[in-house]
Structure 1
């Protein structure tokens, strides 16, 4: 038994040594641009181009782990040993679009950008997209040779002007957020800095961000636009802006997004960032958030702060929407599959979610009564469905704009994610 124990400790030590950041990576960022295309019947992934920026601002520990599963994953292997040396998860607008009727008949393409540490030697990259049953639906495998002369250097000599809004206690173990201006002309940048400061303060007014504020770095990136505002196609309003953002995404009047991810990352090149919040210079209501991609929100509406915080719950923590529609138009969550998002369940594997947070005697499912208003339970109606998908509390920041806080389950999920990146 003693020999087995010593062998196990030795193997653990060897594995830890094998995953040291400096063994495989340099302090720089490899940005890989892809195009995702297809329709509901067939999807494809194509490599667009490779880019290199100074410094690496992502995780340096737990390189082969992901805190949330996401709708896709990028896996980096050392070419010589075939061992996994980096992994991250994500979601994409392309995969969401596949749930709409247009995708049944019309192929479309979407830009996607992923950041990984710059390797010292040749790597093999595998990118996989999963369907709503958590099964692979498209995958691509390719090599990257770090000495490739076609890797474009970006962000070394010129950077978009930016302002530090919040400095972390420890810059070697922090989470880096960049607010990006969209639809602000150069003369409007003081307004943007004020807007970004207010939005940042809104995030850190909520637990657990409030108590863990010293683990974050926040910058405001002054990306200039020719026009003020954003495009609203339903009103025949089209603007020339830095990110070409627009409302009416997928014909939803309040869905505000940008499809120009390469432009966004070009503007961020060389700036310390990992998570992106785009503030749009408009008072028209709307926003959107995509895990480990970006979130985007209007800047001048009475609900701006609530929307920024809600969308950051999506893009940073992978939290699901906890509301449902009378008529479910987006059948994202099959009722016989447990969602990967930590704050909703179909009860197929509920023991892996927040079962430990429910007081003894609480019925599952839990009736939405006044007596249960402050009780963690299992309440029906979430993930855009009124039936078959459940949430932890009757109300939460991920359910309504009126809720002042994240529920205890969402708070725990966010705190675990912050710990993952900073401890």
Structure 2
């Protein structure tokens, strides 16, 4: 196992030192289920100063499927690091990866150096330890580095909430996709409405002053985004689409450089993409972005749930919905902070939050939940297969919410931290911290105690001086 060195840095006020520009390495990530390769596309600087916290350049949170370090090429001193996940990292767990190769565009962003640096990307091995898989050297004096790489068509920057200097706050950028020029006002209303929802949710409610919120909405020629399952195709500025990985509700953009060059017009650490659609859907990838269909009745829930994936690397705790991912071959301890294989109950990673004498695993109404949910999932498939109105899906979700809220929030262990079997898309062998949570159901419940703590750690990384 490689040893990651952490560097102590003198903490100085952000305003005392001019922030460097933002450097971005664009690369291609290619492979299949058994092999992967990286190739350099280009190196650019973005027009704005680096928005990150200068006092916390080193990531010690142990989040993400991948991890990258930026080291001084001459001395080896690590000057920046971050964990992240990627679309490729999800795709390689799908059945398609067993039969074909695919290539995805990806990017790494970091403070622009003033001397050559070596970038090392590592990936978790089958036991979830990081192993080096790609190294590239970047010389900031290279004449082929593209300066001020940003789209001129991003539209004016909207300051939704300005809490302080970007270097001292978590900067959330809300991007609109599929909004025509006539719908810019709608985007602003959507962005403010959903930002307010986020700040009504703990721990964001208590940490609101640690967050800046910005908005950009590049004009689309047509309203809406692509939905291939319904033969709807749009050339939207960000390229967001439903049906990612052939999962009808999963919304991603595969057009990484278009996304990056639009986003480069704002300071950002995290990104939420609002798609101009009323169809239920969204997505979230740690360190990349999250998405939500802004006009759906469940947009407030989806916004917060998917943002939990993106900002904190939270695992999906549900396991009864259809997903594209193949089941895990072995049970190893997940890196995600809110899921465990419970290989050693005495060393449970959230054990400090568990009351004495709490049974591990923790009993809950699992059989009743699975029986009801199996029937609901079939109804959901039938609604989509028949292309029924979205109102029917909304009604089904409300019915599920009433049932699940009553079932999961009663009993001796409701609201308590334990180890409840069923998480990480698996009915057996993975456990979640509480019976109910935003990461488990659409119930009107908060993040569980473990998820709240995991989010707080990331907010600290971007907004605390030490």
Find the partner of 1:289 among 273, 284, 292: 284
Aligned to 2:60: 66
Find the partner of 2:34 among 38, 41, 49: 41
How far the C-alpha of 1:68 sits from its partner, in A, is 3.4
Aligned to 2:215: 220
What are the residue-to-residue correspondences of 1:234-245 with 2, within 5 Å?
234-245=229-240
1:390 aligns to what SS in structure 2? strand
How far the C-alpha of 1:337 sits from its partner, in A, is 1.2
Give distance in 2, aligned partners of 1:326 and 1:285: 14
Aligned to 2:390: none
Aligned to 1:7: none
Aligned to 1:200: 195
Distance 1:188-1:20 versus aligned 2 partners, 3 A rule:
closer
- Number of residue pairs the alignment of both structures matches: 411
Instruction: Decide which moves more: 185-194 or 395-404.
Output: 395-404
Aligned to 1:5: none
Does 2:57 match 1:16? no
Structure 2: unaligned runs, 5 residues or longer: 1-5, 366-410
Distance 1:333-1:391 versus aligned 2 partners, 3 A rule:
farther
Does 2:457 match 1:416? yes
Aligned to 1:146: 140
Give distance in 1, aligned partners of 2:13 and 2:113: 12
Aligned to 1:381: 422
Instruction: Decide which moves more: 313-322 or 334-343.
Output: 334-343
**TM-score, with normalisation over the residues of structure 2?**
0.83
Distance 1:298-1:179 versus aligned 2 partners, 3 A rule:
same
Find the partner of 1:364 among 360, 363, 371: 360
Aligned to 2:431: 390
**TM-score, with normalisation over the residues of structure 1?**
0.91
| Residues 25 and 118, structure 1, Cα contact 8 Å, conserved in 2 | no
Give distance in 1, aligned partners of 2:461 and 2:344: 23
Distance 1:397-1:18 versus aligned 2 partners, 3 A rule:
closer
**In angstroms, what is the RMSD of aligned CA positions?**
2.5
Aligned to 1:174: 169
Distance 1:20-1:146 versus aligned 2 partners, 3 A rule:
farther
Find the partner of 2:186 among 169, 184, 191: 191
Q: Deviations over 1:117-164 (max 9, x none)?
A: 000111011112335542557721111111111111125895641110
Give distance in 2, aligned partners of 1:161 and 1:366: 51
How far the C-alpha of 1:188 sits from its partner, in A, is 0.6
What are the residue-to-residue correspondences of 1:5-404 with 2, within 5 Å?
15-17=8-10, 27-53=20-46, 54-131=48-125, 133-135=127-129, 139-154=133-148, 158=152, 160-169=155-164, 171-325=166-320, 330-331=325-326, 333=328, 335-348=330-343, 351=347, 353-368=349-364, 370-404=411-445
Distance 1:407-1:331 versus aligned 2 partners, 3 A rule:
same
| Residues 26 and 119, structure 1, Cα contact 8 Å, conserved in 2 | no
Instruction: Decide which moves more: 219-228 or 327-336.
Output: 327-336
Give distance in 2, aligned partners of 1:171 and 1:269: 14
Structure 1: unaligned runs, 5 residues or longer: 1-11
1:372 aligns to what SS in structure 2? coil
Give distance in 1, aligned partners of 2:23 and 2:426: 39
Q: Deviations over 1:279-331 (max 9, x none)?
A: 00000111110001000110100000100000000000111000113888634
